[in-house]
């Protein structure tokens, strides 16, 4: 069998935008396992029939193995003994062919020789780091996102990993919540599309290839709705919001065949997700008929006691397994209580059998029973991890993820005629920060900083001056004078500011999301020189930077762009790549505006008609209602016009569809890509609907002067919502449609009527 590229990516390949198959295929692609589902079912049943209760419970335990591969210690001895006794189903945090092989060998000493699953948080790359997931979402480029996940999977699988705890498909609407960096932003439709792309990227079309890993849709469910944006907090959510906003990306992942789900740390309307039978039994395994297994989050079964939902660990085990949590991650709760609970008749053996079956099925599908070392080839590991094509793909992804927020007087792109550039700021030379949080095997030495990228691109004829100016946090202005002196000497200033890599992520919620420290003060001092200032902002979440937003000449939002970020930034700053990223999350003006996601906005009974006329209107007296940067916003070095809206028919019935088309023209001087967005509003309904909701988008590439016709199809499904009795209904009547370049930049408007 030869290396085959995912079909969806083929067009990109022909355009020369992706590394070719010959280059990506270091070797023949190892075939997925060929066992039929019926074979697998038979083998699972045979094995289950041979297992003791203790061995069954063993499959439901997962432990972190950071200490297992080092020198002897107590935990290592205990874990290795448990593995040899068949008391462990999976390990996390053991990686690399050498180490995983060593531990797998212990599992094969157990009575039934059931192989372990090796899992890891491969969130945005394994060795080659891609932009953080939120940044990738800013590309609105599903093929590229799928490729990113595929490259990450290929590297991880070559390194002995079978299973990644990704994608995180939680809709993240609150920038205070540190984990917004891990998802696809605030919009449900975009998140669902990206969830599908990532699952297919990680897993391939069918599980079992040794260039793929099992994916895990997490965190089920509503983790992103944590009260006050505080991580691990309670969630109180209407059923409509749950179904309409938070569940669709999970459904999309399930439909794409995601092998596993992870539940979440939060409660949902009083019941912890880990022990939530409505979520796991009724919806996931019931209504959706999901065949994979559910792993708990780290210690979340044990935490049922801390929440005050279970009396003790045994009670927690009973509640979690009853609610459908199949595997206990690092909780040591199932291991301690489950067998006894079954013996006492408090938990039915059928529940345990069902969980074990789900896990064994995946081990068979991965081919581990045929060869437990399929993912353990040291030669392949070396080859794949050093494949330069992986880095090329990461650079392309980083280019696509950058968002141009401002560009006055065409300050960007930087011209080749510039002789002196002053690169200033605490992140200018940083490597580690570019990778962001959630790196698992990254090597800082491989990261290209912005300084390195610009140095390389600027060439010999351009001097690249540098001053740090200040640190990210802290209040020292001691470096300002030198920074200003350096800037005065240059034609243009590029200022690199932002958050450090560890300021956003898990357990990194913040009440103040301003650019930290004195970085804005540094900006003001530089601006006072009169030189043009281009600001590159790094961060894992929307940040607030008022002076920069108002006074900078140009702003490029870099997110955390990954190991090739410095190169990609230089590509964009110099215009070798025309930026096309669009914000997947709203940037507020201040924290008090949160929740401010674009689709959480309603007309209200007293809408604000004119900014400033706030009397008895739904408004603030100290800030506008509008965000700093809206969902879907992002500039280009060229300009696009939208014209000739055509609606194929004014009315539709159930079962019919309407084609909505328009002409998109590149009116500028350079080639570029535009993400055209379709929004709908149901202006009169049995439940009040948001002002606009994204229903479709297209990313279109146009040469200067070129026009293309873009067509969206509207059917009943696009008009539907969950009504007060949770039925998915499209109510007859008029629907407003809006097509634009951002959620606040609508260029064409029309209407259709559902009869
Ligand atoms: C806790 C996080 O919530 C989850 O996303 C992650 O996969 C696990 N830890 C394992 O590292």
- H or E stretch at 27: none
Q: What is the position in ligand 1's atom list of the atom closest to the CA of 93?
A: 11
Instruction: Work out the average pLDDT over 521-536.
Output: 98
Q: Predicted confidence band at 68 (pLDDT cuts at 50, 70, 90)?
A: confident
Q: What is the pLDDT of residues 595-647, one digit of tens each?
A: 999 999 999 999 998 888 878 999 999 999 999 999 999 999 999 999 999 99
Q: What is the pLDDT of residues 664-686, one digit of tens each?
A: 999 999 999 999 999 999 999 99
Instruction: Work out the average pLDDT over 166-180.
Output: 98
**Ligand 1 geometric centre to CA of 747 (Å):** 42
**What pLDDT score does 30 carry?**
54
**What pLDDT score does 257 carry?**
98
Query: Atom 3 (ligand 1): residue with closest C-alpha?
Result: 297
Instruction: Work out the average pLDDT over 568-581.
Output: 98
**What pLDDT score does 13 carry?**
39
Superfamily holding 402-588 = Glycoside hydrolase family 3 C-terminal domain (3.40.50.1700)
Q: What is the pLDDT of residues 83-117, one digit of tens each?
A: 999 999 999 999 999 999 999 999 999 999 999 99
Report in angstroms the alpha-carbon separations of 529 from 209, 465, 624.
Answer: 58, 16, 31
Are 61 and 295 in contact by the 8 Å Cβ rule? The answer is no
Q: What is the position in ligand 1's atom list of the atom closest to the CA of 166?
A: 7
**Ligand 1 geometric centre to CA of 168 (Å):** 10
Catalytic residues: 297
**What pLDDT score does 615 carry?**
86
**Ligand 1 geometric centre to CA of 304 (Å):** 17
Q: Is the pLDDT of residue 23 over 50?
A: no
Distance CA 371, CA 737 (A): 55
Using a 6 Å CB cutoff, which residues line ligand 1?
92, 121, 165, 218, 297-298, 506
List of residues 6+ apart from 45 with CB closer than 8 A: none
How many Cβ atoms sit within 10 Å of the Cβ of residue 345?
A: 8
Q: What is the position in ligand 1's atom list of the atom closest to the CA of 216?
A: 7
Query: Atom 8 (ligand 1): residue with closest C-alpha?
Result: 298
**Ligand 1 geometric centre to CA of 466 (Å):** 39
List of residues 6+ apart from 662 with CB closer than 8 A: 642, 643, 644, 645, 646, 676, 709, 710, 739, 748
**Ligand 1 geometric centre to CA of 68 (Å):** 19
Quick one: DSSP state of residue 170? -
Are 267 and 235 in contact by the 8 Å Cβ rule? The answer is yes
Pocket mutation for ligand 1, best pick of 62, 260, 297 (most atoms within 8 Å of C-beta): 297
* pTM check: above 0.75: yes
Pocket mutation for ligand 1, best pick of 506, 507, 508, 509 (most atoms within 8 Å of C-beta): 506
How far from each other are the two terminal CA atoms of the chain, in whole angstroms? 52
Distance CA 209, CA 207 (A): 6
Query: Atom 10 (ligand 1): residue with closest C-alpha?
Result: 298
**What pLDDT score does 31 carry?**
58
Q: What is the position in ligand 1's atom list of the atom closest to the CA of 265?
A: 3
Q: What is the position in ligand 1's atom list of the atom closest to the CA of 330?
A: 10
Report in angstroms the alpha-carbon separations of 584 from 328, 348, 497, 598.
Answer: 33, 45, 21, 10
Q: Is the pLDDT of residue 425 over 60?
A: yes
**Ligand 1 geometric centre to CA of 218 (Å):** 9
Pairing of β 693-702 and β 672-681:
antiparallel
To the nearest whole percent, how much of the chain has pLDDT over 90?
A: 92
**Ligand 1 geometric centre to CA of 298 (Å):** 6
Instruction: Work out the average pLDDT over 641-666.
Output: 97
Are 26 and 211 in contact by the 8 Å Cβ rule? The answer is no
The architecture CATH gives domain 7-381: Alpha-Beta Barrel (3.20)
Q: What is the position in ligand 1's atom list of the atom closest to the CA of 264?
A: 3
Asked if CATH classification 3.40.50.300 holds for the domain at 640-754, the reply, yes or no, is: no
Query: Atom 11 (ligand 1): residue with closest C-alpha?
Result: 121
Query: Atom 7 (ligand 1): residue with closest C-alpha?
Result: 165
Instruction: Work out the average pLDDT over 248-271.
Output: 98
Q: What's the chain's Rg over C-alpha atoms?
A: 26
- H or E stretch at 234: none
**What pLDDT score does 738 carry?**
98
Distance CA 500, CA 470 (A): 13
Distance CA 689, CA 734 (A): 13
Q: Is the pLDDT of residue 154 over 90?
A: yes
Instruction: Work out the average pLDDT over 476-487.
Output: 98
CA dihedral 569, 196, 585, 507 (to 10 degrees): -90
Q: Is the pLDDT of residue 125 over 90?
A: yes
Are 416 and 458 in contact by the 8 Å Cβ rule? The answer is no
Distance CA 565, CA 539 (A): 13
- H or E stretch at 537: strand 533-538
Place of tokens 């200003």: 484
Distance CA 510, CA 505 (A): 10
Instruction: Work out the average pLDDT over 134-138.
Output: 98
Query: Atom 9 (ligand 1): residue with closest C-alpha?
Result: 298
27 or 560, which is more confident? Answer: 560
Query: Picking from 70-79, 263-272, 306-315, which range would have the lowest pLDDT averaged per residue?
Result: 70-79
Are 87 and 132 in contact by the 8 Å Cβ rule? The answer is no
**Ligand 1 geometric centre to CA of 246 (Å):** 19
Distance CA 288, CA 167 (A): 19
Sorted by where each begins, the domain ranges of the chain are 7-381, 402-588, 640-754
167: preceding bond cis by omega (within 30 degrees): yes
Instruction: Work out the average pLDDT over 485-500.
Output: 98
């Amino acid at each position: 069998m030869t290396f085959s590229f995912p079909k969806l990516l083929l067009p990109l390949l022909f355009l020369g935008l992706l590394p070719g198959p010959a280059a990506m295929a270091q070797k023949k692609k190892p075939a997925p396992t060929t066992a039929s589902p019926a074979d697998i079912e038979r083998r699972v049943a045979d094995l289950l029939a041979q297992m003791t209760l203790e061995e069954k419970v063993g499959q439901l335990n997962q432990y972190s193995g950071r200490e297992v591969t080092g020198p002897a210690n107590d935990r290592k001895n205990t874990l290795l003994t448990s593995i040899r006794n068949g008391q462990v189903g999976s390990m996390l945090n053991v990686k690399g062919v050498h180490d995983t092989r060593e531990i797998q060998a212990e599992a094969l000493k157990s009575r039934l020789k059931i192989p372990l699953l090796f899992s890891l948080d491969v969130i945005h790359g394994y060795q080659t780091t891609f932009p953080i997931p939120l940044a990738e979402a800013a590309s609105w480029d599903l093929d590229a996102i799928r490729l990113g996940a595929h490259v990450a999977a290929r590297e991880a699988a070559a390194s002995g990993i079978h299973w990644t705890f990704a994608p995180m498909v939680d809709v993240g609407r609150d920038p205070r919540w540190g984990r917004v960096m891990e998802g696809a932003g605030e919009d449900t439709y975009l998140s669902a599309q990206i969830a599908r792309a990532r699952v297919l990227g990680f897993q391939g079309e069918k599980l079992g290839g040794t260039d793929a890993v099992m994916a895990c849709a997490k965190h089920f469910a509503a983790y992103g709705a944590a009260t006050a944006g505080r991580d691990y907090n309670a969630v109180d959510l209407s059923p409509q919001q749950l179904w309409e906003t938070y569940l669709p990306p999970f459904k999309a992942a399930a439909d794409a065949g995601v092998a596993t789900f992870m539940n979440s740390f939060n409660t949902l309307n009083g019941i912890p997700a880990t022990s939530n039978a409505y979520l796991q039994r009724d919806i996931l395994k019931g209504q959706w008929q999901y065949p994979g297994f559910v792993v708990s989050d780290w210690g979340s079964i044990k935490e049922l006691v801390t929440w005050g939902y279970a009396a003790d660990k045994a009670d927690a085990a009973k509640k979690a397994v009853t609610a459908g949590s199949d595997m206990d991650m690092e909780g040591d709760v199932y291991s301690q209580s489950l067998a006894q609970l079954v013996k006492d008749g408090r938990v039915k053996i059928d529940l345990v059998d069902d969980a074990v079956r789900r896990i064994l099925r995946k081990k068979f599908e991965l081919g581990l029973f045929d060869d437990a070392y399929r993912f353990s080839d040291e030669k392949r590991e070396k080859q794949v991890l050093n494949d330069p094509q992986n880095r090329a793909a990461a650079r392309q992804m980083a280019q696509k993820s950058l968002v141009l927020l401002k560009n006055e007087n065409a300050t960007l792109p930087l011209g080749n005629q510039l002789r002196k550039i002053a690169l200033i700021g605490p992140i200018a030379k940083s490597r580690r920060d570019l990778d962001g949080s959630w790196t698992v095997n990254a090597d800082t030495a491989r990261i290209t900083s912005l300084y390195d990228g610009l140095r390389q691109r600027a060439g010999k004829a351009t001097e690249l001056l540098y001053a740090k100016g200040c640190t990210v946090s802290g209040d020292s202005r001691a470096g300002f004078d030198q920074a200003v002196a350096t800037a005065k000497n240059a034609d243009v200033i590029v200022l690199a500011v932002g958050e450090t890599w560890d300021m956003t992520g898990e357990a990194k919620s913040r009440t103040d999301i301003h650019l930290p420290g004195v970085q804005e003060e540094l900006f003001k001092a530089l601006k006072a020189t009169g030189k043009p200032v281009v600001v590159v902002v790094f961060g894992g979440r929307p940040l607030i930077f008022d002076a920069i937003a108002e006074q900078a000449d140009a702003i490029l939002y870099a997110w955390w762009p990954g190991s090739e970020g410095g190169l990609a930034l230089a590509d964009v700053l110099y215009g070798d790549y025309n930026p096309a990223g669009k914000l997947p999350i709203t940037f507020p003006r201040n924290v008090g505006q949160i929740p401010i996601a674009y689709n959480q906005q309603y007309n209200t009974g007293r809408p604000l008609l004119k900014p400033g006329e706030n009397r008895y209107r739904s408004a603030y007296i100290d800030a506008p209602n509008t965000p700093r940067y809206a969902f879907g916003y992002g500039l280009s070095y060229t300009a696009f016009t939208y014209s000739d809206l055509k609606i194929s028919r004014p009315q539709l019935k159930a079962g019919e569809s309407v084609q909505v088309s328009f002409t998109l023209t590149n009116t500028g001087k350079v080639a570029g890509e535009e993400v055209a967005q379709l929004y709908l509003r149901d202006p009169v309904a049995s439940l009040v609907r948001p002002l606009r909701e994204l229903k479709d988008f297209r990313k279109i590439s146009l040469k200067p002067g070129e026009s293309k016709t873009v067509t969206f199809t509207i059917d009943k499904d696009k008009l539907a919502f969950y009504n007060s009795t949770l039925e998915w209904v499209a109510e007859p009547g008029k629907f407003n449609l809006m097509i634009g370049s951002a959620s606040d930049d609508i260029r064409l408007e029309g209407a259709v009527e559902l009869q």
